Amino acid sequence: MFILLSAIGLMVCIAVLFPQVREMIVDWAGQILHKNEVLERKGWLRVIFSSALGGICFILFFDYCTLTDSGRALVQKVKQEMKDCLSEIDFRSLLRPVLLIWSVYLLGILTIIRANFLFRDDIWRSVLGGRGWYDWNRYVSEFASIFVHADTNLTDISPLPQLLAVFILSIGSVLLVYVMGNGKITAVRLLASIPLGLSPYFLECLSFKFDAPYMAFSILASIVPFLFIARRKAFLFSSVVSLLLMCMSYQAASGVYLLIVMILGFKDWNSRKKSNKEIGLFLGTGAFAFCFAMLLFRFFFMKPTTAEYVPSSSAMYPASYLIPGIWTNIKNYAMTINGDLGIIWKVGIVIVCILFIIKSIKLSLRKKILSFFVSILLIGLSFILSYGVYLLLEKPLYDPRALYGFGIFLSIVCIYVVSDFKKIAIVAVLALNWCLLVFALSYGNALADQSRYGEFRIGILLHDLSTLFPDRSGEGLSIQMENSIEYAPSVKNVLKHYPIIKRLVPVRLGDNWDMYFLEHFNHSQNTTMNNKPPVNRPGVNYVDFGALNLPVVLDSYYHTIKSDGNHVLVILKH
């Protein structure tokens, strides 16, 4: 049977390698699906080619592991190493730390849960019940959501997904402390890990009612391999598998694995616990596992996307422009974070980084001056790598949810600083993390206030529209909206000291995702925001109603409505 499967896989692979056969397959698939105009020829050729090649590689590897003595020995060796590593962990001792940090995270998102805010993709998922993660290669999210929601059609079951997310984050925090502390977990170290889940950037992830647990899982998957760090083969195998799972849940966590590899390598180097050869072998194994997993995902699992409404792209810089392109992304990444953080956060982060350098020098068994420069280099390089593979993309995403690697970077630095160091370091770290907790509560209340204000404004608008145009069918009636609903006064107050609020709290009627939000009020007329065609409705010719010189039919404190009976222009006032 194994030989038969291998032969079939080999024939498929050989067939797909021939250009003529590839063209025939694509044409045949297009005729069957009647989607020749949708299929992107080059993209789908690559998908077919890579799928066939990946299939045959898997079959050959499977045959090697099951049919050969050396393969079976390798499998047994990896299994035994993984069992040995797991047997050395007292999982019962991890229960109380998990509950402790879970209570902190739960307190941090309490106001987010209370706000009950439909956040971006939540708007259309709650109305249409669709998943849609498959289009972004997030297969873990796609299939796990079926089990979480107990159905293929999604419904709003919040706060269960968010509670599940903070539980996953709690496990991730405990494991991160466990790995960095050589198995020693303390309350102070746990509290130092708070940026992992309550950084301003991951708060956006926790605001999603549907996506939150899978975003949290991407962090946990990046940490798990380090439980097997004592056995090289088990570490390599678990790293590749876990990194693939991370890529299939949320790729913004792609830098977490590298951050942990670097800090563990630095600790061993700085303390001389291992020889340079052992440290180099560990770093090399980690780098190889990361690159191998990324290549596997890129060529065998990632498929092309045709969505036009997302500002990011999976296209990498060409080799000739790779270095200047990466440098541009690094500058944009640093400028974005600098613009997001308030002055108190910046001061706290600088103090913690200085304490990191001081501790590295004080505890170093290397030359002090060398330790000084290496620790500075580590901080700089870790900050850069916290952005992950987005550094390589032509159009990376800079939304807060894509930057939560920075929170992991802060968490790692804080755990290192409070471990067996002076009390002043503990005070500085806990003060910074207290600021993060306070902001999380402020952010959740800002969402609630904005939600109430937005629904108030929408209620008035829909009342006026229903009075002017009472026909519920809305046949021949098209509505366009200019501007958006402004921030509530309380949100503006928070914005004075926390600039990132402007990027975290969405305004209603600001983009075409809110077309689905209007459907929550049984408003189903043809509506567009700021003269932008609604997403997923191609082929419709949209005209700027502002250029039609429509007469004013209503002018109120909150909005102006212009119409000629068929075209309606709503101008929202700030």
pLDDT of 32 above 50: no
**Residue 475 is assigned to a structural domain of this protein:** yes
**Residue 456 is assigned to a structural domain of this protein:** no
Whether residue 532 contacts residue 431, with contact meaning beta carbons closer than 8 Å, is answered with no
**Residue 233 is assigned to a structural domain of this protein:** yes
Same-domain status, 6 and 95? no
Same-domain status, 204 and 114? yes
Rounded CA separation 174/94 (Å): 7
Same-domain status, 53 and 142? no
- Tell which of 386, 421, 456 closes a domain: 421
* Contacting residues for 13 by C-beta, under 8 A, at least 6 apart: 52, 53, 55, 56
Reading the block at residue 553, the tokens are 């039919």
* pLDDT per position as a tens digit, 76-101: 888 888 888 888 888 888 999 999 99
Q: Please, how many CA atoms are within 13 Å of residue 29, restricted to the half-sphere of its CB?
A: 15
Neighbours of 369 (CB within 10 A): 10
Same-domain status, 251 and 111? yes
* pLDDT per position as a tens digit, 481-507: 888 899 999 999 999 889 999 999 998
The DSSP secondary-structure symbol of 415 reads H
Range of the domain at 558: 468-572
Same-domain status, 226 and 165? yes
What helix, strand, coil percent values describe the chain, rounded to 5? 70, 5, 25
**Residue 215 is assigned to a structural domain of this protein:** yes
**Residue 250 is assigned to a structural domain of this protein:** yes
Indicate the average pLDDT of the chain: 84
* pLDDT per position as a tens digit, 342-363: 999 999 999 999 999 999 999 8
Percent share of the chain, pLDDT over 70: 83
Q: How many domains does the chain have?
A: 3
Same-domain status, 58 and 105? no
Same-domain status, 220 and 136? yes
Same-domain status, 123 and 241? yes
- Tell which of 361, 390, 421 closes a domain: 421
H-helix or E-strand containing 161? helix 160-180
Rounded CA separation 27/33 (Å): 10
- Tell which of 421, 453, 481 closes a domain: 421
Same-domain status, 63 and 99? no
Provide mean pLDDT across the span 407-421.
93
* DSSP string for residues in 21-61: HHHHHHHHHHHHHT-TTTS-HHHHHHHHHHHHHHHHHHHHH
Same-domain status, 560 and 498? yes
**Residue 181 is assigned to a structural domain of this protein:** yes
Rounded CA separation 548/569 (Å): 10
pLDDT of 13 above 60: no
**Residue 373 is assigned to a structural domain of this protein:** yes
* pLDDT per position as a tens digit, 110-163: 999 999 998 888 888 888 888 888 777 888 999 999 999 998 899 999 999 999
* Contacting residues for 404 by C-beta, under 8 A, at least 6 apart: 199, 201, 202, 205, 215, 219, 252, 253
**Residue 369 is assigned to a structural domain of this protein:** yes
Same-domain status, 410 and 476? no
* Contacting residues for 517 by C-beta, under 8 A, at least 6 apart: 118, 123, 458, 508, 509
Same-domain status, 50 and 191? no
* pLDDT per position as a tens digit, 199-244: 999 999 999 999 999 999 999 999 999 999 988 999 999 999 999 9
